[in-house]
Structure 1
Amino acid sequence: MKFGFIMFPSKDAIRPGDFGRLLEDRGYHSLFYPDHTHIPAHTPERYDVAGLAEEFKIGMDPFVALGAAAEATTTLQLGTAVVLVPERDPIVTAKQVASVDVLSEGRMNFGIGPGWINQEMRNHGVDPDDRWEVMRERTEAMREIWTKDVATYHGKFVNFDAITSWPKPVQRPYPPILVAGNGPNVARRVVAYGDEWIPMVRPTVLQDIVTFKREVRKPGSDQPIPVTLFGGMPEDVAAYERAGIDRVLFWTRPLPYDAAVEMTADIAALLGARLKGE
C-alpha cells in the first residue's frame, strides 16, 4: 500500500514545491490537490456552505500548484482529488492535465468528480441533475484529445469538430483517471470511463471496497481495479490493508512549512516500515 496527502494549496500554506520535496524526501508516494473554482456566497439548494472550512474558499488552482510540485520533484506521484469536471471546459482541462504530465515526466493522476454544491455547478452553466452525464462526456472528450492528433466529439453536452491540441500526455494512452463517488453506480462509471476508483472515507467504505475489488473488472481483464482512499487516517492503515486498498491519501488542513514538517514526520513514525513498503 502506498501513502500520500491531500491539502488545499493556499498562500499561507507550505508552497507546493516545498511540500512535494518534503514528501518525496520522507518516502511518501503521492501529493494530490483538491479543486473548487469558487464557493458561492449563498447556496439555497442542497448544501449550506456557511460552515465550510476556509480553505475551500481560498484554495489556489490545482493545476498551477501541481506544475510547481512537478518542477520540484522527480519521483513523487501527483494528482487531483478531485477535479470537478462539470465545472471545467474539457478542451482547456485536457491541455492542463497533459501539461502537468509532461512537466512531471509522466507522474500525473487525474482524479475526477461531479461536484456537490449545486449553485457552484449552476454558476458554470450546468444543471446539477446533469452532472454525471456531463462528467462522462467531458471525460470521454478529453480522452479523444489526448489520444488523437485530430480529435472530434459529439455528445449532448460536448461538441467539437476536428481540433488539434498539444502537448500529448507522456503516459500512454493518458494519465490514469480516478473516478470519485460512493454511490451504487460508481462501479459502472469506473468501468465505463475510468481506470481507478477514489472513494471518500464513509461508514461503509471498507466493505464497499472489498466488494469492489472482488467483483469489478474492466472488460477482458481478470485484474482488480486499483483503489485510492480519499481522506484516510494513519491509525487505520491496518484495516485499509485488509480491505485491499492500493493507496491512502491523508487529508490535512493547510499547514505552514514548519507544521507540515512536523506532521509528515509524525505520520512517518506511525507508519514505520509500511512507508518503505516493507
Structure 2
Amino acid sequence: MEFGVGYFPTHDAMRPGSLARRIEERGQDALFFAEHTHIPAARETPYAGGGELPRKYWHTYDLFVALTDAAASTTRLRVGSGICLVTERDPIITAKEVASVDHLSGGRFEFGIGAGWNREEMANHGTDPRTRMRLMGDRVRAMQAVWTQDEASFDSEFVKFERIWSWPKPAQKPWPPVLVGGDGPTVLDRVLAYGDGWFPNYSESVFPRIASLRSRATRDIQVQVLSAPSDPAVLERLASAGVHRASAWVPSGPWSVIEAKLTRWEQAIGAFLGR
C-alpha cells in the first residue's frame, strides 16, 4: 500500500512547491490539494465537520496553479486534486488544465473529483445543487472525450460542443486516473459509470463498501482513502481490504506546524510496515 498527504494550499502557509519537495524527500508517494473557488459570505449549508468553517477554505490558491508549482518542484511525487469541484468548472478549460499538468509533470497527475457540499458556492457558478450529480457525470465524460479524441464532440444534457481541437493530450493513457470522491448512497454507481477509482474520506463504512464495489466491478477499480488516521491498526485493515493508497491531511501553516503532524503520520506508517 502506498501513502500520501492532503493539504489546503493557502497563500499564507507553506508554499505548494516547497511542501511538495519536503513530502517527496520524506518518502511519501503522493500529495493532494483541496479546492474551493470561494466561500459565500452568507452561507446556510452546514459544515460537515461541525462548528465554524475553517478559514483555510477561502484562502486557497487556485488548484491548478498550486499543482503546477508542486509538479515543477518534484520529480517522483504523484500530485493530485483532493478534490476538484468539477460542478464549478467549465469542462473544456478543466480538460486543458488536467492535460497540461499531466503533460508537464511527465504523467504524475491524479484527478480526484467531487460534486461538492456547499450549495451556495456551487449556485454562484450557476449550478443547481439538485442536478449536480448528473452535471458532474456529463462534464467528466466530456473531458474524457477531449483527452482521447483528436477532434472531439460531445452532446449530453448539460454539455454540448461540436468538433473541437485541444492539445496537449495527457501523458497518461487514456487519461490520468479519475478518482471519484464522496461517500453518499449512490457514489459507487458513479465510480462504476465513469471513474477509475473511488476516493472516499476514511470511516468504518468504507470497508463493507469496498467489498460491494469489488463484487459489482467488471474491471479493475482502484480505491484510495483520504483522512486516514495515524493508526497502524487502521492502515493494516486498509491494506487487507486492498486499498491502493492511504493519505492523511496535514495542517495549513509553516513547516514547523506541518512537520509535527507529518511525523505522527510517518510513525504510524513505520509501525505498520514493521508489523
Match of 1:234 among 215, 230, 233: 230
How big is the shift at 1:273? 6.6
Amino acid of the residue matched to residue 10 of structure 1?
T
Amino acid of the residue matched to residue 154 of structure 1?
D
CA contact (8 A) 2:250 2:262 kept: no
Following superposition of structure 1 onto structure 2, how do residues 1-278 of structure 1 map, counting pairs within 5 Å? 1-44=1-44, 46-47=45-46, 51-213=52-214, 215-218=215-218, 221=219, 223=220, 225-235=221-231, 236-272=234-270
- 1:275–1:13 Cα change, 3 Å: farther
- 1:112–1:275 Cα change, 3 Å: farther
How big is the shift at 1:48? 5.8
- Aligned-pair Cα RMSD in Å: 1.9
Q: How many angstroms apart in 2 are the aligned matches of 1:70 and 1:79?
A: 10
Q: How many angstroms apart in 2 are the aligned matches of 1:165 and 1:183?
A: 34
Q: Secondary structure at the match of 2:226?
A: strand
Instruction: For structure 1, list consecutive stretches of 5 or more residues without a partner in the other structure.
Output: none
Deviations 1:141-188 (A, max 9, x none): 000111111111111111111111111100011101001121232222
Q: How many residues align?
A: 271
CA contact (8 A) 2:250 2:261 kept: no
Q: How many angstroms apart in 1 are the aligned matches of 2:83 and 2:264?
A: 26
Runs of 4+ in 1 over 4 A off after TM superposition: 273-276
How big is the shift at 1:260? 2.4
- 1:192–1:93 Cα change, 3 Å: same
How big is the shift at 1:80? 0.4
Instruction: For structure 2, list consecutive stretches of 5 or more residues without a partner in the other structure.
Output: none
How big is the shift at 1:203? 4.1
Identity %: 42
Deviations 1:108-135 (A, max 9, x none): 0001100111111111111101100000
Amino acid of the residue matched to residue 180 of structure 1?
G
Q: How many angstroms apart in 1 are the aligned matches of 2:106 and 2:47?
A: 40
Moved more, 243-252 or 260-269: 260-269
CA contact (8 A) 2:95 2:146 kept: yes
CA contact (8 A) 1:47 1:118 kept: no
Q: Secondary structure at the match of 2:222?
A: coil
